[in-house]
Chains A and B, each alone.
Chain A
């Protein structure tokens, strides 16, 4: 049910058509290709990312890639200086479209209460951005906390793109950045 709030790739495949015209910058491509091969599923390389970040996995601003047992991945890029932060995450969940669950701990006195809650919550009405049918989630957990997050589905898999709302970027600018990144996504197939 949670997954039903998520968008999907426009059936007209406008997004993919656009994606084929764009290209993942040459020095970024190897990292994304390696990731696609590792999880044996397509991944999205953003051809544009807010300055000064680059989407080069393993590059200066990369926080690395983590891949789960279920082949889901998280690729992050962060710039931090003098109280300002630009942080972008890209995720993919091959073979699943439901919203993943995150562990939540609350303290009640000396007792720790552990629950599992949706990692992405407070979904807004789905809309089309750059040909992708996306859902904006405004309350997100773990590495996506304080981020605005777009989620969409493609061929039975869930993908997300998120950016931290923090100086120098407020809500409106982060929404603009997400739109810009969505328009620049390039699908990288496993080889």
Chain B
């Protein structure tokens, strides 16, 4: 009997996890597949998913995210010579094309995003990366030295001391309303001989906008998650509020490396690309629903004192609701609390009308980050190649695989620091880690983080290997 290699063993186990197991099969049984608009063809960006349906909830426009999500992270087992890299580039490109073949770039079809970590660039194409990864002009000005659009992930003030800063070569994000398409895509990727999987992450999203109990609530109850019974019946996410308000999400291309001029990437190799921050975060539903009342939850999720009808789940997040640094500071000193959204808005919204490099006029108050996060019952992953190091458990746990596209690592860093009360004017609101005044933040616990560069579609497979060193 032939002996399996380590890679074959890992790939086999990971492929089993891609299907998600009995728990995730419930998504198909419990979820309602939303109707979707058609797309006009694949855009140049990998992160853009067309055909997102807009519904109105409490008079507020909300985007309906795809139902099924998978992330496969991996290290590469490829010889570093150019011929091997070019061969691998062609093979991956062929597989990515085959995943999309006959499907639209919409949730009804499939969305595949290949994102590349610093270890890949450092190990395989360091010189090309030095020449072609765009410079973050704003961060460079601030620091007085060259800062690239992709930088290592860091531990943030509210992160636990043992948060794992990952070092994957590549991550694939796969999204669709069709679970079979997502599973099939994962299996095709894991069959690649040069891909040594490190984790498989699975999850779901989907509000009760069509009426009835939402998917996260059903899934949490089915899994026996503590606090699941307290999740509002129609909540889009475990924490009880809608987070895909159209006005609260960056327009599709605003998060491109080049759109807002944050980098010098316009017209370059990575034009049409973006940055992706990936993390896993546990959510303590029982603490959220048993120790924070509705008023507390609104205050600390959105903005202290924000008007909300009792039990409301979808609250306006348009330019009129944008908080300033002054307002966040004033409310903190008055109430001891900050709103998660309000603090983020001090860095995540445009401070003035801005004409993007794509010709679009982005109005003051427009959101920049383009989020693609989804709820999960992974603990912390569906599968890991290092179960002990990743503290894997078979017990389901409520959480979120947080995925967000920003123009640069530094832009994400600014947003994330603001969430911890470190505001763009340099003010550091004196919170202790896990302080109740941080509300939402105090029931979140990040376990893993990594930053990635997302090339444009034309360079999504092994970016830069075709260029001379």
Which residues of A are at the interface with B, using a C-beta cutoff of 8 A?
106-111, 113, 117-118, 121-122, 138-139, 145-147, 165, 170-172
Instruction: Say which residue of B293, B295, B333 sits within 8 Å of A108 (CB atoms).
Output: B333
Check A107/B290 contact, CB under 8 A, given A113-B334, A171-B230: no
Instruction: Say which residue of A106, A118, A165 sits within 8 Å of B337 (CB atoms).
Output: A106
Q: Which residues of B contact A110 (CB under 8 A)?
A: 430
Q: How many residues of B contact A (CB 8 A)?
A: 27
Question: Which of A107, A110, A139, A165 has its CB near the most chain B CB atoms (within 10 A)?
Answer: A139
Cβ of A177 to closest chain B Cβ, rounded Å: 14
Check A106/B437 contact, CB under 8 A, given A139-B293, A165-B286: yes
Instruction: Say which residue of B227, B296, B430 sits within 8 Å of A109 (CB atoms).
Output: B430
- Answer yes or no: B104 CB below 8 A from chain A CBs: no
Q: Are B293 and A121 in contact (CB under 8 A)?
A: yes
Q: Are B335 and A106 in contact (CB under 8 A)?
A: yes
Q: Which residues of A contact B84 (CB under 8 A)?
A: none
Cβ of B461 to closest chain A Cβ, rounded Å: 47
Q: Are A146 and B290 in contact (CB under 8 A)?
A: yes
Q: Which residues of A contact B289 (CB under 8 A)?
A: 122, 138-139
A-contact 0/1 string along B225-261, CB 8 Å cutoff: 0111110000000000000000000000000000000
Cβ of B289 to closest chain A Cβ, rounded Å: 6
B286: nearest chain-A partner, CB-CB:
A165
Q: Are B290 and A108 in contact (CB under 8 A)?
A: no
- Answer yes or no: B336 CB below 8 A from chain A CBs: yes
Cβ of B284 to closest chain A Cβ, rounded Å: 12
Q: Which residues of A contact B229 (CB under 8 A)?
A: 170-172
Q: Which residues of A contact B332 (CB under 8 A)?
A: 108
Q: Are B336 and A107 in contact (CB under 8 A)?
A: yes
Q: Are A121 and B336 in contact (CB under 8 A)?
A: no
What are 26 pairs between A and B in contact, CB < 8 Å?
A106-B335, A106-B336, A106-B436, A107-B336, A107-B432, A107-B435, A108-B333, A108-B336, A108-B437, A110-B430, A117-B293, A118-B293, A122-B289, A122-B293, A138-B230, A138-B290, A139-B289, A139-B291, A139-B292, A146-B291, A165-B290, A170-B226, A170-B229, A171-B227, A171-B228, A171-B229
Cβ of A65 to closest chain B Cβ, rounded Å: 25
10 nearest CB pairs, A to B: A106-B336, A121-B293, A139-B293, A108-B336, A109-B430, A171-B229, A113-B336, A122-B293, A106-B437, A146-B290
- Answer yes or no: B269 CB below 8 A from chain A CBs: no
Q: Which residues of B contact A117 (CB under 8 A)?
A: 293
Bound complex: CA A127 to CA B436 (Å): 32
Bound complex: CA A138 to CA B285 (Å): 13
Q: Which residues of A contact B228 (CB under 8 A)?
A: 171
Residues of B321-373 contacting chain A, CB below 8 A: 332-337
- Answer yes or no: B294 CB below 8 A from chain A CBs: yes
Bound complex: CA A171 to CA B286 (Å): 9
Q: Which residues of A contact B432 (CB under 8 A)?
A: 107
Q: Which residues of B contact A146 (CB under 8 A)?
A: 286, 290-291
B435: nearest chain-A partner, CB-CB:
A107
A115: nearest chain-B partner, CB-CB:
B335
Residues of B403-448 contacting chain A, CB below 8 A: 429-430, 432, 435-437
Cβ of B128 to closest chain A Cβ, rounded Å: 48
Bound complex: CA A122 to CA B296 (Å): 10
Cβ of A31 to closest chain B Cβ, rounded Å: 29
Cβ of B30 to closest chain A Cβ, rounded Å: 19
A139: nearest chain-B partner, CB-CB:
B293
Instruction: Say which residue of A113, A121, A145, A171 sits within 8 Å of B335 (CB atoms).
Output: A113
Q: Which residues of B contact A121 (CB under 8 A)?
A: 293-295
Cβ of A50 to closest chain B Cβ, rounded Å: 18
A113: nearest chain-B partner, CB-CB:
B336
Q: Which residues of B contact A107 (CB under 8 A)?
A: 336, 430, 432, 435, 437
Residues of B265-296 contacting chain A, CB below 8 A: 286, 289-296
Q: Which residues of B contact A145 (CB under 8 A)?
A: 290-291
Bound complex: CA A122 to CA B286 (Å): 14
Q: Which residues of B contact A118 (CB under 8 A)?
A: 293
Bound complex: CA A108 to CA B436 (Å): 11
Q: Which residues of B contact A113 (CB under 8 A)?
A: 334-336
B294: nearest chain-A partner, CB-CB:
A122
Q: Which residues of A contact B336 (CB under 8 A)?
A: 106-108, 111, 113
4 additional A-B pairs beyond A109-B429, A138-B230, beta carbons within 8 Å, are A110-B430, A113-B335, A138-B289, A170-B224
Q: Which residues of B contact A172 (CB under 8 A)?
A: 229
B228: nearest chain-A partner, CB-CB:
A171
Cβ of A2 to closest chain B Cβ, rounded Å: 12
A110: nearest chain-B partner, CB-CB:
B430
Bound complex: CA A170 to CA B221 (Å): 12
Bound complex: CA A150 to CA B436 (Å): 25
Cβ of A107 to closest chain B Cβ, rounded Å: 6
Bound complex: CA A111 to CA B295 (Å): 22
Cβ of B338 to closest chain A Cβ, rounded Å: 10
